[in-house]
Amino acid sequence: MTPKELIAVPTEGDRGIRDRVSSIFAKAPFFTFVEVIDSQRGEIIVHENDASKLAQGTGPIVMKNLKDRGVDVVLAGDVGPGAKTMMEMSGIRLWKIEAGTKVSEAISRYIESQA
């Protein structure tokens, strides 16, 4: 783990770390962004995913938004092939976590796995 990372988690709602990992990636209604500094959870920001309302082309828009925000890691379950390819091209790492997992638990598991 680098000294500072920005993690994005697709979430079912807007409750931040108290929420659950969404079963869908690009169409998730919200994304919770968690800054991790020296293995400690820092600032937490929740943003509505406006792209979730689009009929198509959601994956590329979400990936551009994540890249523009400076996301280093995405914690998610299933990610479509287009979004996965864009993640790889953008240098954003995918760390698989089961949908329905509480965001705080997902972050803790990720941090522990990087120690």
For the whole prediction, is pTM greater than 0.85? Answer: yes
Beta strands per DSSP E along 1-115: 4-11, 30-37, 40-48, 73-76, 93-96
Q: What are phi and psi of 84, to 5 degrees?
A: -65, -45
CATH code of residue 73: 3.30.420.130
Residues paired with 47 in a beta bridge:
31
Report the pLDDT value the prediction gives residue 108, as an integer from 0 to 100.
96
Find the domain containing 70 and state its range. Answer: 4-114
pLDDT tens by residue, 25-80: 999 999 999 999 998 999 999 999 999 998 888 888 999 999 999 999 999 988 88
What is the domain count for the chain? 1
